[in-house]
Structure 1
Amino acid sequence: MRSRSWRPRRAATVRSLALATAAALAVVPLTTTTASAADRVENPFVGADQYVNSFWSAAVHDAADVAGGELADQMRAVADTPTAVWMDRTTAIAGNEDGPGLRFHLDAALEQQQGSTPLVFNLVIYNLPGRDCFALASQGLVPATPEGMEHYKTEYVDVIADMLAEPQYADLRVVATIEPDSLPNMVTNMSHQECQQSAPYYREGVAYALDRLYEAGNVYSYIDAAHAGWLGWPDNAAGGANEFHDVITSSTYGYDGVAGFVSNTSNSTPLSEPFLTNTDFTPGTFVRQSEFYEWNPNFGEHDWTAELRSRLIALGAPERIGMLIDTSRNGWGGPDRPTAPSTSTNLNTFVDESRIDRRNHRGAWCNPDGQGIGERPTVAPDASPGSNLHAYVWVKPPGESDGHSQELDNDQGKGFDRMCDPTYSEQDRLGGNFTGALPGAPVAGQWFQAQFEMLVANAYPAIDADGTVDPDTEAPTAPTGVEVTATTATSVSLSWDASSDDVGVTGYTVLVDGEPAATATSTSATVTGLSPDTNYEVTVTARDAAGNVSAASAALTVTTDEATGGEDTEAPTVPTGLTAGAVTQSSVALSWSASSDDTGVAGYRVHRDGDLVADVTATSVTDTGLTAGTTYSYTVTAYDAAGNSSAASAPLTVTTEDGDVTPGGGCVVDYSANSWGNGFTGSFVLTNDSDTAVDGWELTFTFADGQTVDQIWSASASQAGPAVTITPAAWSSTIAPGGSVSFGFNGSHSGINTAPDDFALDGVTCDIA
């Protein structure tokens, strides 16, 4: 597993006016009635203005007064840029020494709203129990305990949700970034004790926040999804998608309560690398093998958001799910920005001389030297179609420190993290490199003048001295070297040489007979949906971030292959034998007999009560996240590679087990597993389904096919042959009535990786799917 490596947080400290205003604010009694909000939309940014935080703007103008000269003009040009308001402590709701509270900002948003034009209010929810479990710079004040969880719910989330639900704010579109760093830590850092202790509270807290904010009626929640340099590896990407999906489906409203995901929060990973693509460097050697990318195929946030969205949709997320990218600090302009790909024949030299990301290592997250302001907030950018980008946003207001670079006392619970120390190097997270952090940094969230001056000076797109954004009017060069790499009867695969541009190419469009047929961010693409044995004229154009488009490449005539056996119009047979295996309070295991087709079945779609819940290639699936004591109707359809779909199977009615206490005790155990190669991860949620608290528990099971437990978190394990006994960690021993604990393990296997069964807890047998 690759550990994450970045941090942030907190809204800026501003001029003395902020302190005087904050001190004068009164705490207004809150109501619990849900406002009748305006009709919800798929992308809340479309057709809307965005809230400008006057206190951050004041800090920018103060910084300009200090900087003077041309740099001051550039600073003032971005002073009215929309930025997010951070609720990083419970006291931030009413207002504290960092500035006024939430109500002040909401009322200011109403004053900024122009007529009937909607206004987006960007808000960050950031106060989980045990916050920032893998770092010190932004640790919070709420402990990872049951008492901390209760505080988070009743004194933090409920208060915010109730305020947002007040009728006067109903027409605001509140875009909430949900708990930066939290769920990604559950994917990569569960070997760390603090993350083991925080895990159940992170999952429960995020689900609770999603539900309560959705009930406010006017909130669009976007879950923090780390960035390409953290979760971009295939195993991390799969684990991240599963973690997000599991938490969402554990909430009351599921995906109804989620507008999408936000990546790169407070980080500096670029949108894309204009001179690098995830392709061969030499035959048998890939660019991703370089020391900088460490086999991670996702070089930028366009890559990562597109992959994450694809994985989530495969798990059952709706197609409408959108992505936000924080571009406040990922511009990487300035004199060190490459203007063309390297000509070196050494892989690492080629990557280091070609990449615009100038960090010493992708794990360097704290106040990186050389970073710059990135794309200005943009609605529905079209640079990465697979990402369904809702917007580029400035979640982290530029100028706020990520963490202090040396020991500093503070009353916010924020510790000294050596990743913020420019004299520190580490092999594990930094590959032996130094952090590259700026010296002289204050506590996380406090204004850092030197950093802001650097961000503005290195902004990309650049800001002209007269205070305007430098217009990019130079189109990229036309792509060359277009060639066919493969054809079928209905598709053609192409590659071409990279184009050049004064500011960098962001993507390509493939045109077939003059009409756009495919887009790509790399120098290759596959066009589908063609007719067999037909000639097509293919050209390619390049585009940049400003929307400039190159001339077309030289035309290439392509002939598709002849069809074999004619067009496939025969649908697969209807799946039969749909049956339910193990049924629990929250899951149903389904299986069916394979369908037949003249060309072969490509997969199956499982529908629950008419809604698609799974798309699989096997003839079985387990449907999870169900409600106890509820009746569901399932059908299955088969489809082939040509897109033909069978009629639905005969419906199967299944009723989940009710929520009554199990005689002799009160346990419910949910288990799921994800496997790769000879490894797998097993995840458990153990629920106390009784009226009394559990103090101590033991879970036993037997592996069926020689699996072994290698590493466990939030619990302890012992194994004798196939028999495994799991006992709790100190913090997971006690379970309140109706409460639950989460734990899991990494294991290995050499045979069939089947799920364990016959679990027992305190002598009570619990069935598991």
Structure 2
Amino acid sequence: MEQGKDRKARRITSAFVAAGVTLGVAGGLAALTTTSSNAATAAGCTAVYSTTWDSGSGFGSQVVITDDGPAWSNWTLSYSYAGNQTLQNGWNGTWAQSGKTVTVTSAAYNGAVASGGTVTPAGNFTYSGTNAAPTSFAVNGIVCSGTVPPTTPSTTPSTTPSTTPTTPPTTPPTTPSTTPSTSPSSPGGGTGHVANPFLGATSYLSPDYTGEVNAQVAADQSSNPTLAASEAKMAAFPTAVWMDHIGAITGAGDSVHHGLQWHLDQALTQQQAGTPITLEVVIYDLPGRDCAAIASNGEIPATAAGLTEYESQYIDPISTILANPKYSSIRIVAIVEPDSLPNAVTNQSKPACATATPFYESGVEYALNKLHAIPNVYNYVDIAHSAWLGWSSNMGPAAQEYAKVARATTAGFSSVDGFISNTANYTPTTEPFLPNSTLQVGGNPLDSAKFYQYNPYFDEYDYDQAMYTQLVGQGFSSNIGMLIDTSRNGWGGPNRPTSLNSAPTTVDTYVAANKVDQRPFRGDWCNQSGAGIGARPTVQPYGASNHIIAFVWIKPPGESDGDYVTATHSHGDPHCDPNGTNTDGNGGTYSTGSLAGGDVPAGQWFAAEFQQEVTNAYPVL
């Protein structure tokens, strides 16, 4: 299933220090984390408790337990709360609660823990009143004692980016590789090429996006002050700068979308002394761009002359600006050509894609060569999303395609720092009530539901873990980082399920009752009705050992995905028409899921969409 989007058209890990937890945060803030550290003494274990989010009535927690004695073949963690904290769900173990006491028993995949090894069970809870952290933990009956944790932080909304992650994974991350890094991992000082550019850095806040948000806040203030107050918080989150046409390099000549050099200069003014700052820029103008879409078709033809134009008129000017020593303290995160190479895998039956593919491959190769040569630029190549490449028939060939292009570059696999999924898309980071795609309902596995069509990856977390394994297997470094665009995949609001509904007896009704993704068809992608802001930009949302190194907002929330053909204008994409339909390739026909009134050209401000996304944010703003 292909997607097509662009900005115009489109489309934590906690670092454990001693016995405590520190969380790097995009924006340079202290994390919303309560920490309890338990010294290893003679107890044979260490337990580190932290709250990963806290809304005032619910919270997420995790306990990092370390085996300081002989290896475990299985383990049981137990601890007690002082208040009325009530378990909702958990993962990385089997969770149970009796009264105030919580127990977690190891799962089949994580029972064996070597001496010195760690495991991290995590869960979600509700509460009222005070959310005091537990002070004592035991593993296999052995007490891990430690200091009393600090007071739970305030949940008062900050004017700077929150570190609250979305609902965490319901399946375990793959075991991190022990292969030595090919690049330094220290986050300090903005010097050198680090493993995670977001760690230890603040984040650039685009004045262009802030201006769009503030204008909407002013428009809504008198009619809906409550909504306006939530909208105002959006101006404090980092979003990417899109280079989606050659003219974007120098700027549109207006006050809405400035040029690349202007943004870099603004980043220098925002940078704190001695601290690096990250700026995300989207490289998006390949010859024959988005060959399977209409709303995001590019300006450069898929021809040899077009490739020369792409290289000389687009990539070369961008790389020249980025290479200016003036900007060497900025960690520039380059999102390389969304929706390009996936088309080389799945859409070769389309003549436009078959024609464009060699130019995609050569263009991405050229872009990686030019950008990788700049030490403070970090290349993250787009890998679409789980609803596109999740099938085994797509995932393996996709990894091979990315490896093919990387091998052709001067630096080989080193030219790629990592990959990004869900760019400008709406696929949830996790499906908390659908953790097992093979679960049998009515004699059939859940992935046989029409919504999934035997695609075993229901969310981006699981998809990214699987793609990581595939990519490393093709030769990429085990230190590649995975990013997820969470700008619009929250799916909150009144239609979001809040607990498991096990009553349905068919896979289709079971999935419909429990999925947070409210699209009528998983292939819908344009200005989706009911969508909401997702997890805030967050560094290492699942810990330092997880391959997902950050949540990012690449698509600026509130900017349209594309318009559609009407009697008054001939340009547009039928996928964006709220009265149109999409097909699944198997005879199924579905609504586009597009928001009514959405005949807004790609990249332009769509007020109703922004209002909806803020209203349906999850976690709430």
TM-score bucket of the superposed structures, by smaller chain: 0.5 to 0.7
Partners of 1:207 and 1:403 lie apart in 2 by 28
Matched, 1:372 2:370: no
CA distance in structure 2 between the aligned counterparts of 1:431 and 1:65, rounded to whole angstroms: 43
1:297 paired to 2:450: no
C-alpha distance in 1 between matches for 2:295 and 2:462: 28
SS of residue matched to 1:89: coil
Root mean square deviation of aligned Cα:
1.9
Counterparts of 1:450 and 1:384 in 2: how far apart (Å)?
Answer: 38
Which residue identity is paired with 2:344?
A: M
Task: Give the partner amino acid of 1:10.
Answer: K
Amino acid at match of 1:348: D
Q: Deviations over 1:553-590 (max 9, x none)?
A: xxxxxxxxxxxxxxxxxxxxxxxxxxxxxxxxxxxxxx
Task: Tell me how far 1:408 sits from its aligned partner.
Answer: 8.3
C-alpha change, 1:7 and 1:408, in structure 2 (3 Å) is farther
- How many residue pairs get aligned? The number is 434
**Deviations 1:573-617 (CA, angstroms, capped at 9, x unpaired):** xxxxxxxxxxxxxxxxxxxxxxxxxxxxxxxxxxxxxxxxxxxxx
Match 1:318 to one of 477, 495, 511: 477
Separation in 2, partners of 1:282, 1:456:
35
Residues 1:135 and 2:260 are matched in the alignment = no
Which structure's CA Rg is the greater one? 1
SS of 1:461 mapped into structure 2? coil
Alignment-derived partner of residue 71 in structure 1: 227
2:7 equivalent in structure 1 = 9
Asked if 1:281 is matched to 2:440, the reply is yes
1:548-697 to structure 2, matched below 5 A, reads none
Query: Quick check: 1:405–1:440 contact (8 Å CA) kept in 2?
Result: no
**Pair 1:226–1:408, CA change in 2 (3 A):** farther
Distance in 2 between residues matched to 1:219 and 1:10, nearest whole Å? 23
For residues 183-228 of structure 1, the C-alpha deviation after alignment (integer angstroms, 9 at most, x for no partner) is: 0111111111111111111000001000100112210000000001
Please give the residue correspondences for 1:442-453 in structure 2 after superposition, counting only pairs within 5 Å: 442-453=600-611
In structure 1, C-alpha distance between the alignment counterparts of 2:571 and 2:364, rounded to whole Å: 24
Does residue 434 of structure 2 align to residue 434 of structure 1?
no
Quote the offset at 1:10 in angstroms: 3.0
TM-score (norm 2): 0.68
Q: What TM-score do the two structures reach when normalised by structure 1?
A: 0.55
- What residue identity is the alignment partner of 2:489? N
The structure showing larger relative contact order (alpha-carbon pairs under 8 Å, at least 6 residues apart) is 2
Following the alignment from structure 1 to structure 2, what is the Cα–Cα distance between the partners of residues 45 and 408? 46
Query: Structure 1: how far apart are the matches of 2:556 and 2:325?
Result: 29
1:196-235 correspondence to structure 2 within 5 Å: 196-235=354-393
Q: Report the Cα offset of residue 6 of structure 1.
A: 4.3
Contact 1:8–1:366 (Cα < 8 Å) also in 2: no
Opposite residue 429 of structure 2, the aligned amino acid is: L
Q: Is the 8 A contact 2:8 2:601 kept in 1?
A: no
Matches within 5 A, 1:103-118: 103-118=261-276
Give yes or no for contact 1:265–1:396 (8 Å, CA) kept in 2.
yes
Give the structure 2 partner of residue 194 of structure 1. Answer: 352
Letter of the 1:381 partner, please give it: P
- In structure 1, C-alpha distance between the alignment counterparts of 2:467 and 2:425, rounded to whole Å: 18
The Cα shift of 1:240 comes to: 1.0
Match of 1:93 in 2: 249
1:390 deviation in Å? 1.5
Question: Post-superposition shift, 1:144?
Answer: 0.8
Contact 2:8/2:562 (8 A) holds in 1:
no
Mapping of 1:541-552 within 5 angstroms?
none
Distance 1:326 1:409 in 2: 34
Q: Note if 1:157 corresponds to 2:315.
A: yes
Q: Which residue of 2 aligns with 1:553?
A: none
* Alignment of structure 1 residues 247-286 onto 2, 5 Å: 247-276=405-434, 277-282=436-441, 284-286=443-445
CA contact (8 A) 2:413 2:475 kept: no
Letter in 1 for 2:505: T
1:382 equivalent in alignment to 2:542:
yes
Which of 545, 549, 559 aligns to 1:400? It is: 559
Say whether residues 1:425 and 2:581 are aligned partners. Answer: yes
Secondary structure of the residue that 1:124 maps to in structure 2? strand
Q: Distance in 1 between matches of 2:265 and 2:567?
A: 35
In 1, the alpha carbon distance for the partners of 2:568 and 2:237 equals 32
Contact 1:4 1:231 in 2 (8 A): no
Change (3 A) 1:240 1:271: same
Distance 1:291 1:383 in 2: 34
Equivalent residue letter for 1:432: T
SS at match of 1:453: helix
- Of 170, 177, 183, which aligns to 2:328? 170
* Residues 1:228 and 1:385: Cα distance change in structure 2 (over 3 Å): farther
Counterpart AA for 1:43: N
Structure 2: runs of 5 or more not aligned: 11-189
Of Structure 1 and Structure 2, the greater strand share is in: 1
CA distance in 1, matches of 2:234, 2:429: 20
* Partner Cα separation in structure 1 for residue 371 and residue 329 of structure 2: 15
Number of the residue aligned with 1:330: 489
- C-alpha distance in 1 between matches for 2:544 and 2:531: 22
Amino acid at match of 1:332: W
The aligned counterpart of 2:64 is: none
Distance 1:7 1:222 in 2: 18
What is the deviation of 1:44? 0.5
1:146 is displaced (CA, Å) by: 1.1
The one-letter amino acid of 1:393's match is V
Shift of 1:406: 3.5
Q: Displacement, 1:385?
A: 5.8
Shift, 1:315, TM fit: 1.2
Q: 2:507 aligns with which of 323, 340, 347?
A: 347
Partner of residue 105, structure 2: none
Tell me which residue corresponds to 1:356: 516
Shift of 1:405: 3.5
- Describe the shift of the 1:237–1:384 C-alpha distance in structure 2 as closer, same or farther (beyond 3 A): farther
Counterpart of 1:758 in structure 2 is none
What do residues 390-427 of structure 1 show as CA deviations (whole Å, max 9, x unaligned)?
110000000010010444888xxx94111101111233
The residue correspondences of 1:15-34 to structure 2 (distance < 5 A) are none
Q: Identify the residue that residue 39 of structure 1 maps to in structure 2.
A: 192
CA apart distance, 1:125: 0.3
Residues 345, 428 of structure 1: alpha-carbon distance in 2 compared, 3 angstrom cutoff? closer
SS at 1:104's partner residue? Answer: helix
Letter of the 1:330 counterpart? N
Structure 2 SS opposite 1:216: coil
What secondary structure does 1:99 align onto? Answer: coil
| Counterpart-to-counterpart distance in 2, 1:409 and 1:238 | 44
Rounded to whole Å, the distance in 1 between the matches of 2:514 and 2:361 is: 40
- 1:420–1:437 CA contact under 8 A, matched in 2: yes
Matched to 2:296, the amino acid is S
Is this contact kept in 2: 1:5–1:363, CA < 8 A? yes
Aligned counterparts of 2:8 and 2:200: Cα–Cα separation in 1? 28
Matched letter for residue 302 of structure 2: A
Structure 1 residues 99, 426: CA separation in 2 closer, same or farther (over 3 Å shift)? closer
> What corresponds to 1:391 in structure 2?
550
- Taking the aligned partners of 1:385 and 1:293, their CA distance within structure 2 comes to 30
